[in-house]
Amino acid sequence: MIGEILGNRYEIEEKIGEGGMSIVYKARCNKLNRYVAVKVLKKEMSDNEDIVNKFKREATAIAALSDNNIVNILDVGSQDDINYIVMEYVKGKTLKELIKQFGKLNYETAITIAIQIAKALECAHKNNIIHRDVKPQNILVTEEGLIKVTDFGIAKSTSSATLTNTTTIMGSAHYFSPEQAKGTLVDNRTDLYSLGVVLYEMVTGKVPFEADSPVTIALKHIQEEVVPPKQINSKIPESLNKLIIKAMEKDPGMRYQNARDIINDLQKIKEDPNAVIDNVVENEENEHTIIMGSVNAPDNTKSVNKALEDEYYEDDEDDEYYDDDYYDEDDDDEEYDGKKKKKKSYKNLIIGVAVVVGLLLLGVGAFAISGGFSAAKTVKVPDLKGMTLEEAKKAIEDAGLEYVDAGTEKSDEEEGTVIKFDPEAGKEVKKGSEVRVITSAGVTKIKMPNLVEETETDAKATLDKLNLKNYKIEYNFSDDIEKGKVISTNPVKDEEITEDTAITIVVSEGKKTNYQPMPDLIGKGRDEAIRELAKLNLDGSVVGEVEVTDEKLVGKIAWTSHAYGTSVAEGTKIQLKVGKLQEEKVFVDSFIKAGMKALDAKKALEDAGFTNVVINGDKNGVVIGWNPTDKITKSTKVIITSGKAEEPLPPTDPEE
């Protein structure tokens, strides 16, 4: 792959990471001249359509998310048999590495980091995306200290998550929510529980629950009360202690109900560590689209094991990072020597969960024997997909089940028809059990607004106002549209779209700058030089003279502001200077002597060609000195210092 160019723009430079399903390379985007990370699906996986779709799910999940704290998906594509995702290239460390490095973080730093993680989750949740694997290995800290949440590889939309099979194991055991550990249905509060675990680890340096196997850890999430973090690190304020415990409540209804609430409380503690954190949670049940199904024992252990094994292998394979610095060490999973031990570990996990299911069955049996309830007749759930609300209600009641309206969701399906229901079709349930039904709210179609020649900021604001979140920005040169304004959009204006339509906005980077090599102009005439520069779209002008010793350069170009051969942008102003012969330098004392009359000395210098001679002192006196004394040109100013001539002494009488 090294040296290969994908999509006619991404030039692969080096391998920086590898996971079970894909390999990640550092690449240069030749179009925008910047580094990107390219995740390439392994060739042995490319023939499996399900795996290809799973691989692209990560891009689909977060491409629409526009948040500074989420690693951006820039592009997704296929070339021949290569499937790839292009991501923002981030340099730095994982939060896990920082915790390892420092043991634990001071609570102020932990709060700052947690706020940024929560903002990323808030963005995802608003777009109906649940991360489901929030952990320090998936949180990147850039060299500038910015937090980036990555690896939405097992993320699901809230609509998908609500119908997750009860045997599914997702995420990483140390950061499981209790509902993940039980294999029941999850919503955005699952991510907030995991954020609470991450906060716990940041301020204590350890995860809240430790054990020898993922199954045991999962059971602890369900059954054991967490040791308050303040008992481990007494330096954290009580307000933060309460916040973490509230985020990690076993019952989702007792936790923070949305990311904004936890952000607000973190901000309060950041401003005042003694802030009061309310442990009472207001009932916001209607904000969470959850279809709660009854817990049914599997028909046989073999089918349970198979389902668990499939899910465990599938999700583990996709848990990877795209940078050597961000390689997922998976500290919360055991390390194994060879395939045999790894397989044995998964087998132990399956057996462990089977034991838990068995215990549950024993408990149910004991309760029945004691007279708690008697065996009930079971019926199969009818297939309701595509039925109208009335048809579904009748089919449910005819089967001896209870119809429950679980609301509506936006969908491409016809408005008012059933798109989801729980339990699933064909499942045997007790007569009288509830069947929760979600119907399609349809989609609202609007016309694509005209964004051409709008600024990038205004274009984004227009789309946000229309709740059109699934857009991406690309940049290109334009001779007609000024920098920072929209060149084009796809779809084009007035085309019918929905809120989920993928929109591409192309923003101008201004005119493309062309470069020319600076020509050799030394020795050429001024007009010839200016004409030659004009042919190269360079703006030449003569700005003065420069002294030369070579008479051939007198009156010719002898100096240029840009050196010959250098690369110069078209339109650049090029300064030129013509040569003039350098003057001869002489000593003043070659023409005058001390003791001669000052006026005679001045005249002698002027006769010799000196143009600026002045007398300092008595003009009728004699020369007693001059300045300068070094070699000078005849245009240099010469100052003659004069004084009175000393009178000769009278002769002495020899006889005296």
pLDDT value at residue 310: 36
pLDDT value at residue 167: 33
Of the ranges 223-227, 271-275, 370-374, 401-405, which one carries the lowest mean pLDDT score?
370-374
pLDDT value at residue 58: 66
Write out pLDDT tens, residues 281-301.
554 444 443 333 333 333 333
Residue 251 and residue 602: Cα distance in Å, rounded?
107
- Give the residue from 249, 271, 293 where a domain finishes: 271
Burial class of 136 by CB neighbour count within 10 A (0 to 12, 13 to 18, 19+)? buried
* Confidence class for position 651, pLDDT limits 50, 70, 90: low
pLDDT value at residue 319: 38
Same domain membership, residue 616 and residue 547: no
pLDDT higher for 165 or 263?
263
Size of the chain, expressed as the number of residues it contains: 656
pLDDT higher for 220 or 16?
220
pLDDT value at residue 156: 55
**140 within some domain:** yes
Same domain membership, residue 623 and residue 533: no
pLDDT over 80 (residue 548): yes
Q: Tokens in use for 650? A: 């009278």
DSSP state of 70: B
Residue 139 and residue 195: Cα distance in Å, rounded?
11
* Confidence class for position 482, pLDDT limits 50, 70, 90: very high
Report in angstroms the alpha-carbon separations of 226 from 83, 132, 197: 43, 20, 10
pLDDT over 90 (residue 24): no
Same domain membership, residue 526 and residue 455: no
**53 within some domain:** yes
Residue 632 and residue 609: Cα distance in Å, rounded?
12
Average pLDDT over residues 202-209: 96
pLDDT higher for 140 or 368?
140
DSSP state of 250: S
Pairing of strands 638-643, 632-633: unpaired
pLDDT value at residue 288: 47
Average pLDDT over residues 379-402: 91
pLDDT higher for 607 or 360?
607
Pairing of strands 515-517, 486-490: unpaired
Of the ranges 41-50, 330-339, 460-469, 542-551, which one carries the lowest mean pLDDT score?
330-339
pLDDT higher for 76 or 311?
76
The radius of gyration of the chain's CA atoms, rounded to the nearest angstrom, is 41
Q: What is the mean pLDDT of the chain?
A: 81
What H or E segment, with its residue span, contains residue 569?
Answer: strand 567-569
Average pLDDT over residues 158-184: 62
Taking the mean position of all CA atoms in its chain, how far away is CA 377?
A: 55
Average pLDDT over residues 584-595: 90
pLDDT value at residue 206: 95
* Confidence class for position 641, pLDDT limits 50, 70, 90: very high
Average pLDDT over residues 21-27: 88
Of the ranges 158-162, 376-380, 524-528, which one carries the lowest mean pLDDT score?
158-162
Q: What angle do CA 576, 580, 584 make, to 5 degrees?
A: 145
Of the ranges 153-157, 176-180, 256-260, 593-597, which one carries the lowest mean pLDDT score?
153-157
| CB neighbour list of residue 350: distance below 8 Å, 6 or more residues apart | 304, 305, 308, 309, 312
pLDDT value at residue 596: 94
- Give the residue from 271, 292, 315 where a domain finishes: 271
Selection from 41-45, 196-200, 437-441, 618-622 with the highest mean pLDDT: 196-200
Same domain membership, residue 539 and residue 460: no
CATH (domain of 595): 3.30.10
pLDDT over 50 (residue 159): no
Q: How many domains does the chain have?
A: 6
Burial class of 604 by CB neighbour count within 10 A (0 to 12, 13 to 18, 19+)? middle
The string of DSSP letters for 261-309 reads HHHHHHHHHHH-TT----------GGG-----------S-HHHHHHHHH
Q: Tokens in use for 342? A: 């790894």
Amino acid identity, position 119 = K
Backbone angles phi, psi at 428, to 5 degrees: -85, 125
CATH (domain of 76): 3.30.200.20
Same domain membership, residue 492 and residue 541: no
User: What range does the domain containing 525 cover?
Assistant: 515-581
Residue 91 and residue 144: Cα distance in Å, rounded?
9
**652 within some domain:** no
Q: Assign 238 to helix, strand or coil.
A: helix
* Confidence class for position 155, pLDDT limits 50, 70, 90: low
Same domain membership, residue 15 and residue 140: no
Number of helices and strands in the chain (H, E) = 16, 31
**Where in the sequence numbering do the catalytic residues fall?**
143
pLDDT value at residue 150: 85
Amino acid identity, position 452 = V
* Confidence class for position 280, pLDDT limits 50, 70, 90: low
pLDDT higher for 592 or 16?
592
Same domain membership, residue 136 and residue 25: no
Amino acid identity, position 337 = D
Same domain membership, residue 37 and residue 108: no
| CB neighbour list of residue 287: distance below 8 Å, 6 or more residues apart | 257, 258
Residue with tokens 């700058």: 513
Average pLDDT over residues 467-477: 92
Residue 205 and residue 198: Cα distance in Å, rounded?
10
Residue 280 and residue 309: Cα distance in Å, rounded?
39
**179 within some domain:** yes
Average pLDDT over residues 488-507: 92
pLDDT value at residue 308: 33
Same domain membership, residue 220 and residue 137: yes
Write out pLDDT tens, residues 225-256.
999 999 999 999 999 999 999 999 999 999 99
Contact 55, 48 (CB under 8 A): no
* Confidence class for position 302, pLDDT limits 50, 70, 90: very low
Same domain membership, residue 82 and residue 184: no
Residue 259 and residue 610: Cα distance in Å, rounded?
87
Of the ranges 269-278, 338-347, 432-441, 446-455, which one carries the lowest mean pLDDT score?
338-347
pLDDT higher for 66 or 194?
194
Of the ranges 287-301, 459-473, 561-575, 615-629, which one carries the lowest mean pLDDT score?
287-301
Q: Tokens in use for 359? A: 């215990």
Strand runs labelled E in 590-649 = 613-617, 622-627, 632-633, 638-643
Q: What angle do CA 504, 508, 509 make, to 5 degrees?
A: 125
Write out pLDDT tens, residues 88-142.
888 888 899 999 999 899 999 999 999 999 999 999 999 888 988 899 998 999 9
* Confidence class for position 546, pLDDT limits 50, 70, 90: very high
pLDDT over 70 (residue 52): yes
pLDDT over 60 (residue 342): no
**323 within some domain:** no
Amino acid identity, position 330 = D
**% of the chain surpassing 70 pLDDT:** 80
pLDDT value at residue 614: 95
Cis peptide before 491 (omega within 30 of 0): yes
pLDDT over 50 (residue 525): yes
Same domain membership, residue 598 and residue 544: no
CATH (domain of 230): 1.10.510.10
Could you tell me which of 197, 107, 98, 194 has the C-alpha nearest to residue 142?
98
**104 within some domain:** yes
pLDDT value at residue 214: 87
**302 within some domain:** no
- Give the residue from 88, 112, 127 where a domain finishes: 88
39 is in an annotated binding site: yes
Same domain membership, residue 81 and residue 115: no
Residue 549 and residue 584: Cα distance in Å, rounded?
10
| CB neighbour list of residue 591: distance below 8 Å, 6 or more residues apart | 601, 604, 605, 608, 610
**496 within some domain:** yes
The model's pTM is: 0.47
Residue 455 and residue 217: Cα distance in Å, rounded?
52
Residue 305 and residue 425: Cα distance in Å, rounded?
22
